[in-house]
Structure 1
Amino acid sequence: MILINYLIMCLVFGTTFLAIKIGIDAGAPPFFSAGLRFLLAGSILMLYMVVRRKARFSLLLHKEMLLTGAGLTFGVFATLYWAEQYLSSGIAAILSATAPLMILLLQTVIARQRLSLSSLAGCLTGTVGVVLLLLPGLTVTYSRIWVLGCAAVLLGQVFYSAGAVYSRRVVQRFQDTSPIALNAAQMMYGGGMLLVLSLFTEEIHMGAVLAPNAILSLLYLIIAGSMTGHTIFYWLIAKTNPVFPSTWLYISPLIALCLGAVLYDEPVSVLSVVGGITIIIGIVVVNLNNLRSFVFKSKHAGKEIRKTI
C-alpha cells in the first residue's frame, strides 16, 4: 500500500509544476490562485471528514495546524507561484529537488537525528540526476529577476523542509486524528495566509481568474494536487518518515520528460536517460536503511509463518 500510494503521489506531483505554470501564464494572480486552491481543497476535505465523524472543527483551534500550514503550504507555495512567473516549470522542479537534502540537515540539527552517509549520498546523487535529466533542454537567461526567482524557490524549500520535519511531530501528537483531517487543517490555514498576502500585494482581475486555462489549472491543482497528492504525502509521513515521501521531488522531472516525449514528441537525449537512472539510484540509496529494515521484517515474518505451520 505504501508503494502504490507513493507512485500515485509522484505521478500527481510530477504534473503540478506545469499546471501552476499554465495558470500563471493565463494571467491568474499567483498568491490569489495558490490561496484559493488550498483554502478550497482544505475546506472540502475538512467538511468531508467532519460529516463522516472522523474529525472535528475544533482541530483548527490547535496552533500546530497553523504552524504546519505556514511551513508546508504558505511558505512553499507563496515562493513557488511567484517564482514561476519568471522561471520555467523545469527549473522550478530542479530547485525544488533540494528539499530532501535540507530535510536531512534539519533532522540532524533540530531533531538531533544522526545523518547517515547513505542518506546524504542518496540525496546528492538524486540532485545530480535531476540536473542531468533536464540539462539538455535548459535555456537560461541570467538576469536579476531570474536569480531572485531561483532564490525564492530555494527559500520555499527551507519552509517545506521545516514543515515536513515538524509535521512528523504533529502526526505523532495527534495519533487519533486522521492524516486527511490534519492535511485539510494545515491547507486551510496556509490557503488563508496566501489570500491575506494576495489582498495586500495583488490586483485581482476576474477576467484573468476566469480564463479557461486558469480555471482548468485551478481545478486540477485543487482535486489532484492538493486533495489527493498532499493527503497521500501526509499519510506517507505518518507511515514512514519525512525524507521518504519527499523523494517525489526527484521523480517529478522524470515524469515531465516522459509526458513531453509521449504527448508532444519532445526529444529524449542520452544525457536525460542517464539522469533518470541516476535519480532512481539516488532514491534507493536515500531509503537504503528503510529497505533493509523492510527486507528484515519480511524475512522475520516469513519465518514466523513457517513456524506456525
Structure 2
Amino acid sequence: MTIFLYSLMCFIFGTTFLAIKVGVDEGFPPFLSAGIRFLAAGAILYLILLARKKTSWKILLRKELMFTGFTLTFITFACLYWAEQFVSSGIAAVLSASAPIIIILIQTAFMGVRIDKASIVGIILGFAGVFFLFLPGLSITWNTFWIIGCGIILFGQFGYATGSIWSGKTISTFKKESPMALNAVQMIYGGLFLLLLSLFAGEPAPNITIPGLLSILYLTVAGSMIAHTIYYYLVAKTNAFLPSTWLYVSPLIALTIGHFFYNEAVHPVMLVGVLLILSSLILVNLGKILQFVSIKKMASSK
C-alpha cells in the first residue's frame, strides 16, 4: 500500500506542471487560476477537517500561517504560473526541484547551519545544472522571455525555501494541530493573496474551455488535495524523508509527459542539466539518505 501511494503521489506531483501549462495556454490568467486552485483546495480541506473536529476556527487568525501562505504558496506559485507562459512544464519541474539547494543556502547564510562537503559539491553541481538548462536559451536567437521565465521560477523557490523552513517551526509551535489543517489554512491565505494579485494586475476574464476547466479541477483535487494528503499520510506512516523524495522522481515524469503528450522540446544539452540537478539533490540530502538506508537495514534485520 505504501509503495502504491508513494508512486501515485509522485505521478500526481509530476503531472501538475503540465496541468498548469495547459490551463495557462488555454487562456486562464496565471494568478487567477492559481488563486482559485489554492483557495478552493484549502477551503474544502479545512471544512472537512473542521466537520470532523480535527481542527478549530482559531488557526484561521494565526499570522504564522498567513506568512507561510505568503511565502510557500503565494510567492512560489505566482512565479511558477506566470513563468509557464514561456517555459515548458518539464523544465519548470526541474527548476522547481532546486528548492532543497536553496534551503541549504538560506540555512547556511542566515541561520548559522554548518554545511558539509557533500552539500557544497551538491550546490556547485546544482548551479552547473541550472546553467546547462539555461544554455539552449542563450543562443543566437536569444529567447528573452524564456530566460526571464526560468529566472522567475528560481526566484520563486526562495519563497518555497523560506516557507518550508518557517512551516517547520510553525508545525512545532502548533503541535496539537493536524499538519493537514495547517497546510489547508496556509493554502487559503496563499490563494487569497494570488487572487488579490490577479485583481491588482488587471488580469482579463478567463477564456473558458473544457481543457482549462479540467486543468484547474485536476490541480485542485489531485494536486492540492489528494497528493498532499498522501504526503502527510506517508510522513505519519514512514518518516519525513521518504515522501520528500518525490523531488527526485517528479521532474523526470514531468519531462517525459511534457515531451510525449504535449510536444514540448527537450534539447540534449538540457538533459545534462537535469542529471546535474538531480545529482545535486542526492548530494545535499546524502546524510538523510544514508540515515534512511541505515534505519531500513536495522528494521529488516530484526
TM-score range, shorter chain: 0.7 to 0.9
1:54 aligns to what? 54
Equivalent residue in structure 1 for 2:253, among 246, 252, 255: 255
Measure the CA separation in 2 of the matches of 1:84 and 1:200.
20
2:76 aligns to what? 76
Deviations 1:207-255 (A, max 9, x none): x1x31111011001101111133445567788436xx766544433311
Residue identity opposite 2:12 in structure 1: V
Q: Comparing 72-81 with 244-253, which one deviates more in the overlay?
A: 244-253
Residue identity opposite 1:60 in structure 2: L
Q: Comparing 74-83 with 289-298, which one deviates more in the overlay?
A: 289-298
Equivalent residue in structure 1 for 2:209, among 197, 204, 211: 211
Counterparts of 1:231-250 in structure 2 under 5 Å? Answer: 231-232=229-230, 239-240=239-240, 248-250=246-248
Measure the CA separation in 2 of the matches of 1:81 and 1:272.
21
Measure the CA separation in 1 of the matches of 2:31 and 2:106.
27
Task: Give the gaps of 5 or more residues in structure 1.
Answer: none
Measure the CA separation in 2 of the matches of 1:150 and 1:265.
19
Asked whether the 8 Å contact 1:19–1:217 carries over to 2, the reply is yes
SS of 1:28's equivalent?
A: coil
Measure the CA separation in 2 of the matches of 1:50 and 1:111.
36
1:40 aligns to what? 40
1:86 aligns to what? 86
1:14 aligns to what? 14
2:163 aligns to what? 163
Counterparts of 1:93-172 in structure 2 under 5 Å? Answer: 93-125=93-125, 142-172=142-172
Counterparts of 1:157-196 in structure 2 under 5 Å? Answer: 157-196=157-196
Measure the CA separation in 2 of the matches of 1:265 and 1:156.
26
| Structure 1 residue 58 displacement after superposition | 1.2
In the alignment of these two chains, the number of paired residues is 299
Q: Comparing 35-44 with 116-125, which one deviates more in the overlay?
A: 116-125
Residue identity opposite 2:41 in structure 1: A
Asked whether the 8 Å contact 1:180–1:235 carries over to 2, the reply is no
| Structure 1 residue 108 displacement after superposition | 1.6
SS of 1:114's equivalent?
A: coil
Q: Comparing 119-128 with 163-172, which one deviates more in the overlay?
A: 119-128
Measure the CA separation in 2 of the matches of 1:164 and 1:4.
26
Deviations 1:190-223 (A, max 9, x none): 00011111112124425x1x31111011001101
Asked whether the 8 Å contact 1:9–1:229 carries over to 2, the reply is yes
Structure 1's 251 and 192: CA in aligned 2 closer, same or farther, altered over 3 A? same
* 2:292 pairs with 1:294: yes
Asked whether the 8 Å contact 1:125–1:282 carries over to 2, the reply is yes
Task: Kindly report the root-mean-square deviation, in angstroms, between the aligned alpha carbons of the 2 structures.
Answer: 3.5
Asked whether the 8 Å contact 1:237–1:245 carries over to 2, the reply is yes
SS of 2:114's equivalent?
A: coil
Q: Quick one: percent identity of the two aligned structures?
A: 47
Measure the CA separation in 2 of the matches of 1:120 and 1:235.
32
* 2:66 pairs with 1:66: yes
Task: Give the gaps of 5 or more residues in structure 2.
Answer: none
Measure the CA separation in 2 of the matches of 1:275 and 1:156.
19
Q: Comparing 279-288 with 212-221, which one deviates more in the overlay?
A: 279-288
Q: Comparing 8-17 with 279-288, which one deviates more in the overlay?
A: 279-288
Equivalent residue in structure 2 for 1:227, among 221, 225, 232: 225
Deviations 1:28-54 (A, max 9, x none): 111110000000000000011111111
| Structure 1 residue 96 displacement after superposition | 2.2
1:28 aligns to what? 28
Deviations 1:122-162 (A, max 9, x none): 45546656877x79997975244444323322221111111
Residue identity opposite 1:213 in structure 2: P
Residue identity opposite 2:193 in structure 1: M
Measure the CA separation in 1 of the matches of 2:53 and 2:169.
24
Asked whether the 8 Å contact 1:71–1:159 carries over to 2, the reply is yes
Measure the CA separation in 1 of the matches of 2:195 and 2:268.
44
Measure the CA separation in 2 of the matches of 1:139 and 1:237.
41
Measure the CA separation in 2 of the matches of 1:51 and 1:264.
40
Residue identity opposite 1:44 in structure 2: I
Residue identity opposite 1:66 in structure 2: M
SS of 1:175's equivalent?
A: coil
Measure the CA separation in 2 of the matches of 1:160 and 1:12.
19
